[in-house]
Structure 1
Amino acid sequence: MASPPKPKKAAPRAKRATKALDREKAIPVILAGVAAGKALDVVLKEDPTLPSPSTFWRWHMDDVKLRDNLARAREMGVEVHMDEALSIADTPMQGQIVTRKLDKDGNEYDEVRTEDMLGHRKLMIETRIKRAQMIAPRKYGPKLDVTSDGERIEMESTDVAVRLASIFAGIEKRRAGDGDDDAAG
């Protein structure tokens, strides 16, 4: 009777450096990488002395200051990405388009054209803009018109003054009314 097959061992995980940076030295390196526009996981994988992602996220959960600093670093990284988007838009990227064709005898051949990779550049730019919109929505998010249905609202300065006076009068009336309620109570 044959014995059951032994379970296969899981593939060994990539080893981190045996001498990892301590937390106080690792955090500035990580934040500098993120502020330079790199993705957090890329920063952590590039340097074997940095902690694993799970260790970093444990630090992140336990440290409010780290959370704030990571958010600021990401906002700085967004600025890097927006600069990159401009550079990508201004710089042609030559690439080859290979089309497999048949000649009149039925033999296959490759037709190669070299041209600007507009679709690829557009994808790179849109990806950076979408990321900027997610990380800094107030600055890069879509501008929503919730009041005028797209029409320009015209107001004369006298109309603005009358409207503001009305608002301030309402505020004063409420304040006076609140004072009466307190005295009566």
Structure 2
Amino acid sequence: MAYSEEKREEIFNYIIEQIADKGRPIRSILKDENTPSTITFFKWLEESEDKAKQYARACEIRADVLFDEMLQIAFTPEEGETHKRTKKGSVSETEVTKGDMLGHRRLKVDTLKWAISKMAPKKYGDKVDVTTAGDKISSTPSVVRVEVVNPDFED
């Protein structure tokens, strides 16, 4: 489908807004009505350095949006029900428990934490500090002097 320049800008701005404001992944956005195919969208990025920069910046912002969402999930109880079915002989019973869905929230937080660390590894990834006995390892090479000594053997 051919897009006018005005329509292309409108659609592109919608996509950037969805990434930066809502934290949505690009594959999900491009399934929305009136959005281009994945190939067309990435052609737009190749054709315009400005659009490519806007997309990259929106992706950086998305990591921050998802980080904020992760904190909200972690600190906001989520009420729900768990159903546990048991069978005693030929009788089947269902036990319903109401309360905070802690396991569900933990899964959401862990998933977001992993995804964010991949989206913005410099900012949210694990920092590796290589140390020996608490001291940082020097990146300058050490000089080792080797001297061969010919021992005098007396008979």
Same fold (TM over 0.5): yes
Question: Paired residue for 1:129, among 104, 113, 118?
Answer: 113
Paired residue secondary structure (1:134): helix
Question: Paired residue for 1:57, among 25, 32, 42?
Answer: 42
Deviation digits for residues 13-69 of structure 1 (CA, Å, limit 9, x no counterpart): xxx9xx9x72122111111111121111222223x2222222112222333322221
Report the structure number with the largest CA radius of gyration: 1
Paired residue secondary structure (2:81): strand
Question: Paired residue for 1:98, among 83, 89, 92?
Answer: 83
- List alignment gaps of at least 5 residues for structure 1: 1-15, 155-166, 168-185
Corresponding residue for 1:39?
A: 25
CA distance in 2, matches of 1:126, 1:64: 34
Q: Where is the strand percentage greater, Structure 1 or Structure 2?
A: 2
User: Post-superposition shift, 1:74?
Assistant: 0.8
Q: Where is the helix percentage greater, Structure 1 or Structure 2?
A: 1
Question: Paired residue for 2:91, among 103, 107, 117?
Answer: 107
Corresponding residue for 1:89?
A: 74
Deviation digits for residues 76-129 of structure 1 (CA, Å, limit 9, x no counterpart): 1111111111110011112221111134x6311211111322221111112222
Paired residue secondary structure (1:144): coil
What is the CA RMSD across the aligned residues, in angstroms? Answer: 2.6
CA distance in 2, matches of 1:128, 1:69: 23
CA distance in 2, matches of 1:144, 1:153: 14
Q: Does 1:141 align with 2:125?
A: yes
**Number of aligned positions between the proteins:** 134
Could you list the structure 1 runs, at least 4 aligned residues long, displaced by more than 4 angstroms after superposition: none
